[in-house]
Amino acid sequence: MSNGQAFDTLQIHGGAAPDPATGARQTPIYQTTAYVFRDAAHAAALFGLKEVGYIYSRLTNPTVAALQTRIAMLEGGAGAVCCSSGHAAQIMALFPLMAPGRNIVASNRLYGGTITQFTQTFKRFGWSTKFVDFDDLDAVKAAIDGDTRAIFCETIANPGGYVTDLPAIAKVADTAGIPLIVDNTTATPWICRPIEHGATLVVHSMTKYLTGNGTVTGGVIVDSGKFDWSASDKFPSLSQPEPAYHGLKFHETFGALAFTFHGIAVGLRDLGMTLNPQAAHYTLMGIETLSLRMAKHVANAQTISRWLEKHPAVGTVTYPGLDTSPYKARAASICPKGPGALFTVQLKGGYDACLKFVSSLKLFSHVANLGDARSLVIHSASTTHSQLTADQQIAAGAAPDVVRLSIGIEDPNDLIADLDQALKAATA
């Protein structure tokens, strides 16, 4: 979905024309459950997917639709489906691809909640996950078997410091004939557009940078429109007749929009993980300033990571923009505008110093969130990653002696002053 306009224009105008009924310049919040049919024939056509339109807000809503179009444009995708959270987006992305007995191959560097979802909850659907070090391409290839239906990774892996070699992983997925799903939450499309590197689907927790101020829980799946769902018999939900729509074949009927239509007409209809229009409104507002915020997030992260690295109480700082990061060169090619604003800091005082540091910070908020305008901190090992084994914690960059920082857009000198006093308290 592209009209040739630049990112800074699309983030304000993408998907949003003046309201046809009232001329309202800002996208209205269509706070309605249902939509009046023109006549019985119109209703029948909508229900049979013969005509596209609004039926019921579990499936489609004009405020949500504006947001879907805007994000699809920013990511360079064919279409997008919004849903109620980032975790809902992951289920919604995999739902059309999976069945009992099928598996996915996922990076072992992922958001802690995602590892738990993929390990525990997926089991109940009969799905399984093979976690692999995505720097070891032979291991990724070896993990793919006849039941693998997707490869999953994050662009900049939470809790920060790691950038995935997307083009290399996309090549592996392409050779195996399976889709690559990339969680682009911590990068945002301003920093990286995974579809340009070969991703099939992009998922986001809109809860984070897209909304940008810690007000909303939301998710989105963007489809590149480039995957050939009919090339094998692996994806019958998209390539074979759908009984609930009179035997309609999504791929044959909707082409590049097959995944998007399936996500709405089957995924939202039956899983019901719908985004509400009020939340869509907040996220539309947030995205209007995405490029401005991300540039400041990145500049602050660069300044603060450099300062922290020189502090005597600090061991390793993982920001991929630092010369000391093993991922600096990869970050520069995949995230040329800067590798986000999320990284971990190792404290020489270990676990206890981390807890003291976190409770001494005043400007930084101790919360289980990231991608807020305000700076945030968390000790992952005792919170978000506490359900993982010690080995999983270390593999995920959440060892007991590190804290994760999500750098906000405040004045960097005030943030440094806060970090300085908390480091003093932690080492006293």
Ligand X SMILES: *Cc1c(COP(=O)(O)O)cnc(C)c1O
Site of interaction with ligand X (CB under 6 A): 85-87, 111, 113-114, 154, 158, 183, 185-186, 205, 207-208, 217, 219, 370
Supply the minimum distance, in Å, between the C-beta of residue 190 and ligand X: 16
List the 201-205 sheet strands across, edge first.
Answer: 79-83, 219-223, 201-205, 180-183, 148-154, 103-107, 128-132
Bridge-based pairing state of the strands 376-378 and 314-317: unpaired
- Asked if the bond preceding 159 is cis, omega within 30° of 0, the reply is yes
Complex with ligand X: residue 130 or 208, whichever CB lies closer:
208
Going 280 to 286 to 289 to 293, the CA torsion angle's sign is: negative
Complex with ligand X: residue 257 or 279, whichever CB lies closer:
279
DSSP 264: I
Token couple for 202: 């992009």
Complex with ligand X: residue 88 or 265, whichever CB lies closer:
88
Token couple for 254: 């909707």
Supply the minimum distance, in Å, between the C-beta of residue 93 and ligand X: 11
How many residues belong to the chain? 428
Complex with ligand X: residue 86 or 349, whichever CB lies closer:
86
Complex with ligand X: residue 284 or 422, whichever CB lies closer:
284
State how far the Cα of 421 lies from the Cα of 423, in Å rounded to an integer: 6
Token couple for 87: 């975790």
Supply the minimum distance, in Å, between the C-beta of residue 118 and ligand X: 11
State how far the Cα of 418 lies from the Cα of 428, in Å rounded to an integer: 16
Supply the minimum distance, in Å, between the C-beta of residue 85 and ligand X: 3
Task: Based on DSSP, count helices (H) and strands (E) in the chain, helices before strands.
Answer: 19, 14
Q: Taking CB positions, which residue lies at the least distance from ligand X? A: 86
Supply the minimum distance, in Å, between the C-beta of residue 216 and ligand X: 9
Alpha-carbon dihedral 224, 226, 232, 235, rounded to 10 degrees: 20
Complex with ligand X: residue 105 or 106, whichever CB lies closer:
106
Supply the minimum distance, in Å, between the C-beta of residue 267 and ligand X: 16
Complex with ligand X: residue 158 or 360, whichever CB lies closer:
158
Supply the minimum distance, in Å, between the C-beta of residue 48 and ligand X: 33
Complex with ligand X: residue 1 or 151, whichever CB lies closer:
151
Supply the minimum distance, in Å, between the C-beta of residue 91 and ligand X: 10
Q: Is 347 exposed, middle or buried (0-12, 13-18, 19+ CB in 10 A)?
A: buried
Supply the minimum distance, in Å, between the C-beta of residue 148 and ligand X: 21
State how far the Cα of 386 lies from the Cα of 395, in Å rounded to an integer: 13
Complex with ligand X: residue 205 or 360, whichever CB lies closer:
205
* CA angle, residues 398, 117, 183, in degrees to nearest 5: 70
